[in-house]
Structure 1
Amino acid sequence: MTLALKQLSKTFEGSKALQNVSLQMKDGQTTVILGPSGSGKSTLLRCINLLELPEKGKLQLGDLQIDFEQKITNKVKQKLRRNTAMVFQEFNLFSHLTAVENVMEGPVTVLRQDKDQAAQHAKELLEQVGLSDKYDSYPSRLSGGQQQRVAIARALAMEPQYLLFDEPTSALDPELEIEVLRVLQELAHERLSMVLVTHNIDFARLVADRIVFLEEGKIDFDGSATAFFASEDPRIRRFIHSLKLEV
């Protein structure tokens, strides 16, 4: 299922966060969005999931077409979000639910799955992200890396067409970050359709099929990861070098 964005424009208090951004994502592809702070990366991701609404532009996902100059109903939002699942910087787990209950909550309440079936699938997903011994643990008993892996399992449980990740390791220290990056690498190798915002340039090099480089709300590069890292463009070289210096 192709995800297409056409001429998205978004402003905040008169400041242009996105300026006529057009992209087309493909099935089975990992797209990594890079750019300096304030370039519009997270805004773009949030627009894909309708957490932010552009003033102008269009979005198409399969047979769902959205014109942002028209009113967006809750029904349209729900339809889109059943096909896109987002993992945030913060884990946003329900503190009163165990890991397995957090993962099965969406399938039971939104997709109306049978509880036993949802629980079994939730356990399989927790095993997939390396948490088979944490089924009955509450978030307060989990490390940050473990909580983020539960959040990833929760997103997978909805069986979305696209997985969206907004700097999913930025709140973690390096050791815990590696746990999460390993899971994301495995998902990329499974050819899931993913859109990922990250500051980890080495991870981007490892998993990206495609890189979109944003600056001042505009696309300055859109192409293969190989072409991005081989680019002689002075701005791209400076950006890559600056992130390596931060490591």
Structure 2
Amino acid sequence: MVTLKEINKSFNNHHVLKNINVQFKKGETTVILGPSGSGKSTLLRCINLLEIPQSGTLEIDSLKVDFSGKLTQKDKLAIRQNTAMVFQSFNLFPHMTVLENVIEGPITVLKKDKSNMVQIGEQLLDKVGLLHKKESYPSQLSGGQQQRVAIARALAMEPKFLLFDEPTSALDPELEGEVLKVLKALAEEQKSMILVTHNLNFARVAADRILFLENGEIAFDGDTEEFFNNTVNDRIVSFIQSMQFI
């Protein structure tokens, strides 16, 4: 489980996250929604310590970091070994083949056996529908294919939680669909996932839970069906209506 308590994050004089208290359970897909500038990506990046809050605590199972003190490199590495982030941009190594991209992290960081990782890497590429591209280079792939490789690479690290920061926002609708199918399949496998996305259709069919942020605060935390059928909260109703025309 990931637990955030009393998280505050500011950039200069802008208070981006305000006393955030939230838990993310294993085996659950949580989609974080909200208007631009609401703090969605910042919250996600705090879980992976790509952003360091000014105060509060982060716990992943038995690991705990307190942001009121100084974080060591050991603290950061321990947290990051439990999470894997997939970004908007694919961040693949251009000089490596698809398979080499997938297995590089486990071999270099986790000191896994290369021959074993080749087999696991091929299995993961098969899972995302790209085993036939294992000897290709990133420049030879479409954007959707590169993002699917990035997902396989994240899975290869065997993280407790997969984090996705708008993973399809740089793709056209057809290529977006390729990636969303993979993400939906992972959700059905009950992988522990936290996603920031603007795709309400994906959130509706794949999320177990919706977190809705506005002005750096959690305005809704609950069941997906409850969120989309909400007729009481005017802000949620207007948000859903506005997003359906994008």
TM-score, normalization: structure 1?
Answer: 0.98
Partner of 2:192: 193
Q: Distance in 2 between matches of 1:171 and 1:5?
A: 29
Partner of 2:137: 138
Partner of 1:124: 123
The 5-angstrom pairing of residues 154-173 of structure 1 reads 154-173=153-172
Indicate whether 1:29 and 2:32 are aligned. Answer: no
Q: Deviations over 1:12-44 (max 9, x none)?
A: 111011000110111100000000000000000
Match of 1:133, SS state, is helix
Indicate whether 1:152 and 2:151 are aligned. Answer: yes
Counterpart residue identity of residue 60, structure 1: E
Indicate whether 1:206 and 2:205 are aligned. Answer: yes
Q: Distance in 2 between matches of 1:234 and 1:41?
A: 20
Partner of 1:69: 68
Counterpart residue identity of residue 220, structure 1: A
Partner of 1:89: 88
Counterpart residue identity of residue 75, structure 1: K
Q: Distance in 2 between matches of 1:102 and 1:80?
A: 22
Indicate whether 1:175 and 2:196 are aligned. Answer: no
Indicate whether 1:113 and 2:105 are aligned. Answer: no
Shift of 1:231: 1.0
TM-score, normalization: structure 2?
Answer: 0.99
Q: Deviations over 1:123-178 (max 9, x none)?
A: 10000000011000000000000000000000000000000000000000000000
Indicate whether 1:55 and 2:54 are aligned. Answer: yes
Consecutive unaligned residues of structure 1, counting only runs of 5 or more, are none
Q: Deviations over 1:192-236 (max 9, x none)?
A: 100000000011001110100000100000001011111121100
Counterpart residue identity of residue 24, structure 1: Q
Q: Distance in 1 between matches of 2:115 and 2:87?
A: 28
**Runs of 4+ with >4 A deviation:** none
Counterpart residue identity of residue 7, structure 1: E
Partner of 1:242: 242
Shift of 1:180: 0.1
Q: Distance in 2 between matches of 1:129 and 1:243?
A: 28
Match of 1:204, SS state, is helix
Q: Distance in 1 between matches of 2:88 and 2:223?
A: 25
Shift of 1:47: 0.3
Match of 1:241, SS state, is helix
Match of 1:199, SS state, is coil
Q: Distance in 2 between matches of 1:32 and 1:68?
A: 25
Counterpart residue identity of residue 99, structure 1: V
Counterpart residue identity of residue 9, structure 1: N
Q: Distance in 1 between matches of 2:64 and 2:77?
A: 13
Paired residues, number: 245
Match of 1:221, SS state, is strand
Q: Deviations over 1:46-77 (max 9, x none)?
A: 00000000001100011101100111111111
Match of 2:5, SS state, is strand
Match of 2:245, SS state, is helix
Shift of 1:82: 0.7
Q: Distance in 2 between matches of 1:22 and 1:224?
A: 17
Q: Distance in 1 between matches of 2:16 and 2:51?
A: 11
Q: Distance in 1 between matches of 2:16 and 2:122?
A: 40
Q: Distance in 1 between matches of 2:49 and 2:137?
A: 30
User: Sequence identity, in percent?
Assistant: 61
Partner of 2:9: 10
Match of 1:58, SS state, is strand
